[in-house]
Amino acid sequence: MTTTEAPPSGTALRPPKPTRRRSALRRRNALIGWSFILPNFIGFGFLTLLPVLILFYMAFTNWNVFGKADWVGLANFQRLLGDGSFRIAFLNTLYYSVMHIPLTIVVSLGLALLLNNKLRGVAFFRTAAFFPYITSIVAIAVVWNLLFSPDYGPVNEILRAIGISSPPGWLTSSEWAMPAVVIVSTWRDMGYYMILFLAGLQTVPRELHEAARVDGASVWQRFVNVTLPCLRPTMFFVTVMLTINSFKIFDLILVMTDGGPGQSTLVLSQFIYKKGFEESQFGYASAAAVALFFLCILVTIGQFLWNKKRSA
Amino acid sequence: MNRKILAAGSIAAVAALALAGCSGGTDAAESADPDAPITLTLSGWSIDTTPEFQTLADAFTAGHPNVTIELKEYDPAEYNTLVTADLAAGSGPDIITQKEVKYVTTFQEGGQLLDVSDVKLPDGIGGADSYKVDGVSYAVPYRQDSWVLYYDKALFDAAGVAYPDGSWTWDDYADAAEALTTDAVKGDYLHRWQSTVQGFANAQTGTDILKGDFSNLKDYYDNTLALQDAGYQVDFNTSTANQLTYQGEFGTQKAAMLLMGTWYTATLIAQQASGEANDFEWGIAPAPQLDAKTAGTDNTPVTFGDPTGFGINANIDSAKVDAAKQFLEFAASEDAAQALAEIGITPALTSDAVADAYFAVEGAPSDDLSKFAWSTHKVLPENPTSSKTATIQGILGDLHTAVMSGSTPIDDAIKTAEDRVKNEVG
């Protein structure tokens, strides 16, 4: 990383411009900047920012989508603390994230390292690894449901063939449903994060690798001491994005298991959706959404502080 | 400075939006002329394959030429959410079709439904109680489906099993399923919905799910799991993985028996005519009963089903209210029932004339037992009309997937469900 040096104090670089022209220039630059941001920001502002701000208000009311929202103070949050389903959803979300995040990082980093070579056909493999990310989620759910079918599905056929006599029930078993969802989710996300890692790997200076090889470092030592440190910014970005996306996971679980069997794959986003849209308790669902927001933000702040300490 | 303005502006916007409430009102138009042309909008779904809305609209406007009825189509899977969104935005339909009873209280508590207690209903119409809250009627039923047993006469003949005679209990049903199962055919097909087990369990034991006691479910789940384990019925997990359709399983003769709502009759007739389903003789029988007390054609079998009805948007133009109420009265009448029966819909009002019209449709079964099963039964509502119903049905849905997939034993699942009701509904 390059550092900029501050110019020695007291050095005059050029005579100062008259004040009016400087502020006019600054205003013009600001206007140009705003005109670039504004189209996207207006959309973001009305469709995302405003509803989120309203959500914070709604969390303290008992709105049921029609009529007035009566203020109930902290009643929704007290109810959340005692709600068994909320606890299950919270724990399931943590369970999913703890499994999904390391697995995806390892798989996508591995793929990126493999595909970082200039082999013939590497472009094809990079595209193929990215395909799951852009495939329709419903198609993914249907196909993986068939693959995971406990009696007839290929996954269990293979497991039986290699000697596992009673393979897991996958999506039909309350213990194995979440691991099954994590596998599919990792398969879907690996392409995207692989691309990010590939970009990061391009910034690793080849001279460092050469130097390490000359010094007699093994492949693993080179990976740990050269590649990983250079990848830290990318790794940080991937971890933060992956964490936030894992906490917010919704669509894959909705189409694959709908929270089942029972409540074994119920996650926070789904809890919010059920309470809001299926039971019309929008105030309560808003409170749960606020809880999810604080979970994401606290963990992200933690990651930022950790990263700051590491790079200091 | 800019940031402060932005912050103040957004806070003001939030406050304004929050205080403004949600439902928009329409201005009341003054009109005393009863023959002035009136347009009513009516919400429906799958208009192409669900002809009942157009049929009712046409039949009504034939007798009331100054009224035009426009159908507003909604996606059937997300009907309630979409209608809710329109109502909250003030652009809801004038006549709100109540697709599911469990959403009636949401609309009613939100002040979206007009009091229609003064709409005259014919005697003997079924399902009207589902739309009453605290003694006030908020909608009028026009359709009342019930769950019956469909059976494939050809497969029964091939297996040498006697047709159902209206006196079956669940044990008789299990015996028949065993006798009918061959390598190619399963005795019965049970669809994945929680209704297929819980509907019967609650109606036939007279259980009110709002009370939160679900011990009645045990026997029913034990029975169906036994059928599944013995191989007479497709496994719930296989059905889920392969996304089997009940129309496909029964229609292509992969199963000899099917417990389903009476709405399937019209579909099966249409599919047999188009070739999507095999050409075979079939009939309907009363659903298997809990015990001999309600079984047999000299008793009244107990089954379940919810009505479908029309409500009126509380924000409707006051000039349109009379026409809307007349439409509701018509929809519940014998004339409308005849029109609906002719297209294979089970109306809320049944009579001999209506039954004749229903079974006169080409392709409908013609035996007496089918007519008995369709017209003589005690239909208990699957969803009690209460604001707690949606939550409790969600909890019971989780119980259903846990038990049918084999991942939780029924006793544990019942205990979990009962605890959850105490914890989440109170």
Same domain, residue pair B44 and B121? yes
pLDDT of residue B3: 60
Q: Which residue of A has its CA nearest to B89?
A: A66
Please give the pLDDT value at position A50: 94
- Could you tell me if B227 and B310 lie in one domain? no
A50 touches chain B (CB under 8 A): yes
Look at A279 and B398 and tell me if their CB atoms are within 8 Å.
no
Nearest Cα of chain A lies from the Cα of B415 at a distance, in angstroms, of: 13
For the ranges A19-28, A249-258, B200-209, which has the lowest average pLDDT?
Answer: A19-28
- Spatial separation of the C-alpha atoms in residues B344 and B52, rounded to whole Å: 9
Please tell me if residue A53 touches chain B, with a CB cutoff of 8 Å: yes
The answer to whether the Cβ–Cβ distance between A49 and B10 falls below 8 Å is yes
Looking at the fold, whether B257 and B291 belong to one and the same domain comes out as yes
B247 and B112 belong to one structural domain: no
- What's residue A153's pLDDT? 87
Task: With a cut of 80, say whether residue A297 has pLDDT above it.
Answer: yes
Do the chains contact at A169 and B405, CB–CB below 8 Å?
Answer: yes
**Distance (Å) from the alpha carbon of A137 to chain B's nearest alpha carbon:** 16
Check A65 against B88: CB less than 8 A apart.
Answer: yes
Are A262 and B401 an interchain contact pair (Cβ–Cβ within 8 Å)? yes
B416 in A contact zone (CB under 8 Å): yes
Taking only the tens place, the pLDDT of each residue in A183-212 is: 999 999 999 999 999 999 988 888 888 888
Pair (B248, B117) in one structural domain: no
Subunit contact B81:A277, Cβ cutoff 8 A: yes
Say if the Cβ atoms of B398 and A262 lie within 8 Å: yes
For the record, the structure tokens of A49 come out as 């920012």
Q: Are residues B162 and B311 in the same domain?
A: no
Residue A45 pLDDT level (bands cut at 50, 70, 90): very high
Q: Does residue B373 fall inside a structural domain?
A: no
Q: Which residues in chain A are closer than 8 Å to B11, comparing Cβ atoms?
A: 53
**Which chain B residues touch A142 with a CB distance below 8 Å?**
243
**What per-residue confidence (pLDDT) applies to B382?**
92
Identify whether B419 is part of a domain. Answer: yes
Cis peptide before B365, with omega less than 30 degrees from 0?
Answer: no
B144 has a chain A CB within 8 A of its CB: no
pLDDT one-digit tens code per residue, A103-127: 999 999 999 998 888 888 888 988 8
Q: Is the minimum CB–CB distance between B245 and chain A shorter than 8 Å?
A: no
| Interface contact A124, partner B, CB < 8 A | no
The per-residue pLDDT string of chain B (426 residues; one tens digit each, 9 = 90 and over) reads: 456 555 555 555 554 444 444 444 444 444 446 678 889 999 999 888 788 899 999 999 998 989 999 999 999 888 988 998 899 888 899 999 999 888 898 898 888 999 999 988 888 888 888 899 998 999 999 999 999 999 999 999 999 999 998 899 999 999 999 999 999 999 999 999 999 999 999 999 999 999 999 999 999 999 999 999 999 999 998 898 888 999 999 999 999 999 999 989 888 988 898 898 999 999 999 999 998 888 888 888 999 999 999 999 998 888 899 999 999 999 999 999 999 998 888 999 888 889 889 998 888 888 889 988 888 888 899 999 888 898 999 999 999 999 999 989 999 999 999 999 998 886
Q: Are B287 and B344 within one domain?
A: no
| Statement to judge: residues B157 and B133 lie in one domain | no
**B402 shares a domain with B315:** no
CA of B90, closest CA in chain A: separation in Å? 11
Q: ipTM of the predicted structure?
A: 0.79
Taking CA atoms, what residue in A is nearest to B397? A262
Tell me if B200 is assigned to some domain: yes
3-state SS, chain B, equals CHHHHHHHHHHHHHHHHHHHCCCCCCCCCCCCCCCCCEEEEEEEECCCCCCHHHHHHHHHHHHCCCEEEEEEEECCCCHHHHHHHHHHHCCCCCEEEECCHHHHHHHHHCCCECCCCCCCCCCCCCCHHHHEECCEECEEEEEECCEEEEEEHHHHHHHCCCCCCCCCEHHHHHHHHHHHCCCCCEEEECCCCCHHHHHHHHHHCCCCHHHCCCCCHHHHHHHHHHHHHHCCECCHHHHHHCCCCHHHHHHCCCEEEEEEECCHHHHHHHHHHHCCCCCCCEEEECCCECCCCCCCCCCCCEEECCEEEEEEECCCCHHHHHHHHHHHHHHCCHHHHHHHHHCCCCECCCCHHHHHHHHCCCCCCCCHHHHHHHHCCEEECCCCCCCCHHHHHHHHHHHHHHHHCCCCCHHHHHHHHHHHHHHHHC
Task: Assign residue B78 the CATH number of its domain.
Answer: 3.40.190.10
The answer to whether A276 faces chain B, any CB pair under 8 Å, is: no
Looking at the structure, tell me whether residues B77 and B182 fall in a common domain: no
Residues 150-169 of A with CB under 8 A from B: 150-153, 169
| Domain match, B251 and B158 both | yes
pLDDT score recorded for residue A199: 92
Residue B13: inside a domain? no
pLDDT at A15: 62
Within a 10 A sphere around the Cβ of B321, how many other Cβ atoms? Answer: 15
Residue B322 lies in a domain: yes
B237 contacts chain A (CB < 8 A): yes
Residue A217: pLDDT band (50, 70, 90) is: confident
Domains and CATH numbers, chain A: 79-311 (1.10.3720.10)
Instruction: For A276, name the nearest residue in chain B, comparing CA atoms only.
Output: B81
Number of domains in chain B: 2
Nearest by CB: A261 against B391, B401, B420 = B401
> For residue B239, is it within any domain?
yes
A259 CB neighbours in chain B (<8 A) are: 398
Domain that residue B294 falls in? 147-303+382-425
Answer whether residue B61 is part of any domain.
Answer: yes
Indicate yes or no: CB of B14 within 8 angstroms of CB of A67: no
A220 touches chain B (CB under 8 A): no
Question: Any idea which of A52-56, A95-99, A171-175, B253-257 has the lowest mean pLDDT?
Answer: A171-175
Report which of A59, A81, A83, A82 is spatially closest to residue A72, judged by C-alpha positions.
Answer: A59
Q: Are residues B166 and B296 part of one domain? A: yes
- Residues β-bridged to residue B148: B260
pLDDT for the residue numbered B29: 43
Query: How many contacts, defined by CB atoms under 8 Å, are there between A and B?
Result: 127
Among A84, A150, A279, the residue with its CB nearest the CB of B394 is: A279
Let me know if residue B367 belongs to a domain.
no
